[in-house]
Structure 1
Amino acid sequence: MRQLYIKQKVFSLSGKFSVKDERENEVYFVEGSFMQIPKTFSIKDSSGHEVGLITKKTFSFLPTFFVEVNGREAVMINKQFSFFKARYTIDAVDMEVRGNWWDMNFGVYQNGEIIGSVSKKWFTWGDSYELQIENEEMESLLVALVVAIDCAKSDQAAAASTPGV
């Protein structure tokens, strides 16, 4: 079992941050596009190889995020139409997210077995998450999933703070 920590910088315009292990070593680097359409987040390993890419669908009635891991589409996050509370669905082959993923406390299951879990750390400057990985083969996918969910949450918060939206 491996633990990773994701801590975003609050005032980073480009969305640049790193994912660290329990010894504070940087394991992954995440960089968002700045002033680019479509908005993307690239996830690179410590060797500089891209292991994940999150893309926000440009022209869509409701926000949609595509997550690619190692060059293949792995997950899609869709906002569903609702009047009062934001609702999203996560579509992934043989995967299920159980728990309160909107508040970043959830488990990720594949074929009924847990492969990882996420818990949000409170009282930190910026968003900070602990990712516990049960199946290390799924590490890149789990990191990309957490970043994508956080991206969807940030997008929702930005839309909610915009007048007239």
Structure 2
Amino acid sequence: MGFFDFSGGGNMGFGSVKNVKGFTNEDLFEKLSAIKVSFGTPIMGDIFGTQSVMYKNATPYYDIFVRVHKDKIIMGKIGTDGTDSTVTAAQMEAELIMGSKDEENSFADRAVDELLEVIKKLESGEYITITDEAMPANTATGEPISLYMEQKLFSLKPRFDVFDQEKNVVFHVEGDITSHSFTIQQDGREVLKLKRKIAKIMDEYVLVKNGETIAELKKKFRIVNPEVSGTVNGAELRIMGDLMGIDYDIKIGGRKVAHVDQDKAHWSDCYRISIKDEDVQDIVIALAVICDHVSDKDSTWRH
């Protein structure tokens, strides 16, 4: 994505695609009605008299829309019917001022990204009936696993506890005083080791399991927002979204396995982690630690 690329993606809450297929709004409604997404079903509606395909009440405060605009298809979030516009505007303003999002804003922005990927596939002629986000999670219940990662303050060494909704500690993460090496532990046993390579212009990381390197990652330089990518067990890894605002997706082999955002109810660094593949829980925790390190370094550099 270029510096002046306004095509959306990255959990920004808007998107646009060149309408190379010449779709009409009626075409979009027909095609989207046959595709299952994670945030509702479409209806044909309008925004202040402009015809649009709408996903009503994607969240209590937001609808998601998509429509043809000149030679493009545009999409985004908009305050839902019956919601005080001043409340919606205040939410967006707080998001900009605080530099991070509440859970509802994060969900709405990710819904727009999900829709953006669907429209891109339709424009490229791909056949799609369900998005990755709408598919059952690879867990015992078929639902994503909800975890929370909280950094322990007032410690010489970086330390994190990862707990479930009942406040049970599931993972413990502890680094050395230089933040070059971390151990990820489950039930008091090390399940993964994270190492940061020294003397590199751009940060590089490796994940080691049972003595073998299973992942190599590198931070990419970007003026607006850093990006981390690499490979995990031979599959492509991409961490996409807003690392600085702590609102990003983790994709392995082209499929989303987790989402991480910030829990503003806690005064210290506390991240919500939604995991769709329980087989990679330890890897997701390690990646969240990497992103915390990247965002902290970039925040310090910017100030």
TM-score (norm 2): 0.46
Quote the residue 2:161 is aligned against. 18
RMSD over aligned CA atoms reads 2.3
Worse-superposed segment, 60-69 or 97-106: 60-69
Contact 1:69 1:140 in 2 (8 A): no
Contact 1:67 1:145 in 2 (8 A): no
Q: Aligned pair count?
A: 156
**Which structure: greater strand fraction?**
1
Worse-superposed segment, 111-120 or 129-138: 111-120
Higher relative contact order, structure no. (Cα contacts within 8 Å, ≥ 6 residues apart):
1
Contact 2:181 2:194 in 1 (8 A): yes
Runs of at least 4 residues off by over 6 Å = none
Q: In structure 2, how many angstroms separate the alpha carbons of the residues matched to 1:64 and 1:152?
A: 11
Contact 2:263 2:272 in 1 (8 A): yes
> What are the superposed Cα offsets for residues 15-71 of structure 1, whole Å, 9 maximum, x if unpaired?
122110111111111111025xx721111111x221222222112223323333454
Distance 1:21 1:145, change over 3 A: same
Letter in 2 for 1:16: R
Letter in 1 for 2:159: K
Quote the residue 1:58 is aligned against. 198
> What are the superposed Cα offsets for residues 99-137 of structure 1, whole Å, 9 maximum, x if unpaired?
223322112223333211111112522211011111111
Is it true that 1:42 corresponds to 2:183 in the alignment? yes
Distance 1:134 1:126, change over 3 A: same
Distance 1:160 1:33, change over 3 A: farther
Q: In structure 1, how many angstroms separate the alpha carbons of the residues matched to 2:170 and 2:220?
A: 30
Quote the residue 2:171 is aligned against. 28
Contact 1:75 1:145 in 2 (8 A): no
SS of the residue corresponding to residue 102 of structure 1 reads coil
Letter in 2 for 1:31: E
Q: What are the ranges of 5 or more consecutive residues in structure 1 without an aligned counterpart? A: none
SS of the residue corresponding to residue 62 of structure 1 reads coil
The partner residue of 1:148 within 266, 271, 290 is 290
Letter in 2 for 1:53: K
Letter in 2 for 1:100: D
Q: In structure 2, how many angstroms separate the alpha carbons of the residues matched to 1:145 and 1:2?
A: 16
Is it true that 1:87 corresponds to 2:229 in the alignment? no
Rg (Cα) greater in structure: 2
Q: In structure 2, how many angstroms separate the alpha carbons of the residues matched to 1:31 and 1:62?
A: 23
**Which structure: greater helix fraction?**
2
SS of the residue corresponding to residue 157 of structure 2 reads coil
Q: By how many angstroms is 1:158 displaced? A: 4.6
Q: In structure 1, how many angstroms separate the alpha carbons of the residues matched to 2:254 and 2:227?
A: 21
Letter in 2 for 1:90: S
Letter in 2 for 1:5: Y
Is it true that 1:126 corresponds to 2:268 in the alignment? yes
TM-score (norm 1): 0.80
The partner residue of 1:77 within 218, 222, 234 is 218
Distance 1:62 1:20, change over 3 A: same
Q: What are the ranges of 5 or more consecutive residues in structure 2 without an aligned counterpart? A: 1-143
